A and B are shown apart, each in its own frame.
Chain A
Amino acid sequence: NAGVTQTPKFQVLKTGQSMTLQCAQDMNHNSMYWYRQDPGMGLRLIYYSASEGTTDKGEVPNGYNVSRLNKREFSLRLESAAPSQTSVYFCASKKKDEQYFGPGTRLTVT
């Protein structure tokens, strides 16, 4: 039982490049989330998916898109990366009221 997994662990992009961050959970949870964590800012919600086939914007959605591929997988896409998107990205899934986090992806945009 791996919990929440994320790939890649590290990524360096140049401004304007695109990439997709992958997230998968094996706990059969309906709800999944994408956060970013920046120094001095705390965790901020980018997008969430309450169930397969639905997605909604969170606090900081600009510059991102998401896909809930199936119940297990929830991906985050940066279409044209900007230096302001340099951050650590966490995926989470929810059981009842409790969210369980993956290990994170550290993204640097130069």
Chain B
Amino acid sequence: EDQVTQSPEALRLQEGESSSLNCSYTVSGLRGLFWYRQDPGKGPEFLFTLYSAGEEKEKERLKATLTKKESFLHITAPKPEDSATYLCAVQSRGGSQGNLIFGKGTKLSVKP
């Protein structure tokens, strides 16, 4: 059964304190791994897609990396506006029509 586990559930950082969020997955053939950001009361906002081990994507203070078993979302020198819940999702090669399996998310709080 395809599964996604995110850790930690919650993370508190001081502004400027770099850290990483983890997404471990088991899937019957990975088609793609996706990172989303979700602000309170809003829908998830697409951040990155990763397709193969070793691939990296960057956007401002965020960098996503992928191995055969997990993905990391590295946050460099975070700011309070980076506070949000970060969701990881996978799409398997056997999955129907692009269906995603989501993790439960990591809630990030960045204090000034």
Contacts and interface: CB of A to CB of B under 8 A. Distances in A.
Interface in A42-88: 42-45, 48, 50, 56, 58
A98 B47 CA distance: 10
Contact of A50 (B41, B97, B103, B105): B97
Interface string A9-27: 0000000000000000000
Given A97-B91, A98-B46, A98-B49, A45 B99 contact: yes
Interface residues of A, number: 24
A45 B98 CA distance: 11
Contacts, number: 55
Interface residues of B, number: 24
Is chain A's binding surface mostly helix, strand, loop or mixed? strand
Given A31-B98, A42-B102, A99-B100, A104 B43 contact: yes
Given A40-B104, A99-B46, A56 B31 contact: no
B42 interface: yes
A4 B32 CA distance: 22
A98 B34 contact: yes
Contacts of A45: 99-100
